[in-house]
Structure 1
């Protein structure tokens, strides 16, 4: 199957492909999603097959407007308040579904589902034109860094899907916050650009302690159970003050070391290194993180990628959540060398 690159002018054709049971990747403000008709079981199964995704990993349902959610789920007053405050935007809300409203292939067999209204006008038009909500896991090979450009999608899924709607690079760069509104107090299951400090003035206390998903347990949200975001090289998480020592340590093992850091850090290091800039602050770092991890996959000699730490505050919590998953928790310990 030849994968088409749809432009904004091709939304009608992209929507027709969706209605025909095909897969079309779409842009959001966070990452590109792999779209399929959420009401078409066969189409949803194609998503798992294209990604190589475990079937008990539930899918987020993307809608064109808040009213679409009520067709499939019970929307509490608190959830409606969140939708009014943060939609369209990078907030995914887990709600109890109505009986038989969504197939088990969408929900992982749970009686809950996650819903999101993306802050991308082209994708909202796509959903509206298709006339159905779209499942939308990240449009990448399962376990690899999420795609933040249409080129990333084509790198992983070319010839596996019908097309990708290209609306340029994403702006946030890390996936949406996921909040579970089926528990009391509500719980953040995946950190994102919208944090507890932004949610609590609207709905009251929010649980932020990470829940460990057992091997036999079906996760309520993506990113909770399986390996994510890993490039081919081993990622090592490094504090900003430790880069010189970390570089010396890892260059004693191999000459093939890459650096993923802000411009301020890169200016302190030898210019001949393989590097990727995270810009100047946590906002630009979150935008660039997945692109940086993918960059080093195009440098197959690089064995270690030293990646910069940010404080786990606000967007930094989402950035560090993804970075630590990519690293498998591996950190540079300056006291060890």
Structure 2
């Protein structure tokens, strides 16, 4: 059974954040809130966690996983960014966007798109997510919690706990995060291409 932590959305309890981070360090697979719905997450080096995310969501090897970062400097270590892309991302983070960019050597090959050698990155604007990232001290490997056959992600932590009780190790509940995933912007080809419309305003990339 998954552990269940009820965390305050605006003032997350340090003790509970610490428990969630320790679970991540122990190679747990967790469900956690973001500024655009809930996500599955584990440490970047957690191979078993990656395989479990693939199994839960029934993902193929073309899926772009997302590396969720605390701030821009952390993001810049994971993806290749030129000056134009730097300005564009800087102006729109933190926020409800995932950016697809060429991965650096810091990103394990198993996390990259096998053909394009790209990966997703984002900086969320959510107090609980930022508390997790600050305590962990490294990015979280993530994927939107959208189950096979569902048109929208689940928005309630207790509902997620019931559905995935034997498939994840911990559920961090901070209330309704909304049903919309991030807006995905592919910046790997120079010009921005919006590949998924979601919670973030796509206007800056059109």
- TM-score band by shorter chain is 0.7 to 0.9
If each structure's helix is expressed as a fraction of its own residues, which one has the higher value?
Answer: 1
If each structure's strand is expressed as a fraction of its own residues, which one has the higher value?
Answer: 2
| Residue 118 of structure 2, aligned match among 101, 112, 124 | 112
Q: Distance in 1 between matches of 2:98 and 2:46?
A: 21
RMSD: 1.9
Matched, 1:94 2:93: no
Residue 198 of structure 2: aligned partner: 192
Matched, 1:182 2:188: yes
| Residue 57 of structure 1, aligned match among 63, 66, 71 | 63
3-state SS of paired residue (2:144):
coil
Alignment deviations for residues 199-244 of structure 1 (CA, whole Å, 9 cap, x no partner): 15xxxxx3xxxxxxxxxxxxxxxxxxxxxxxxxxxxxxxxxxxxxx
3-state SS of paired residue (2:171):
strand
- Structure 1 unaligned spans of 5+: 201-205, 207-337
3-state SS of paired residue (1:129):
helix
Larger-gyration structure (1/2): 1
Q: Distance in 1 between matches of 2:85 and 2:109?
A: 23
- Structure 2 unaligned spans of 5+: none
Contact 1:39 1:133 in 2 (8 A): no
Displacement, 1:127? 1.7
Matched, 1:161 2:164: no
Say if 1:42 and 1:168 are closer, same or farther in 2 by CA, change over 3 A.
Answer: same
Q: Tell me which of the two structures has the higher relative contact order, counting C-alpha pairs closer than 8 angstroms and 6 or more residues apart.
A: 2
Displacement, 1:25? 0.8
Q: How many residues align?
A: 197
Matches within 5 A, 1:259-278: none
TM normalised by structure 2 equals 0.86
Alignment deviations for residues 287-333 of structure 1 (CA, whole Å, 9 cap, x no partner): xxxxxxxxxxxxxxxxxxxxxxxxxxxxxxxxxxxxxxxxxxxxxxx
Say if 1:66 and 1:143 are closer, same or farther in 2 by CA, change over 3 A.
Answer: farther
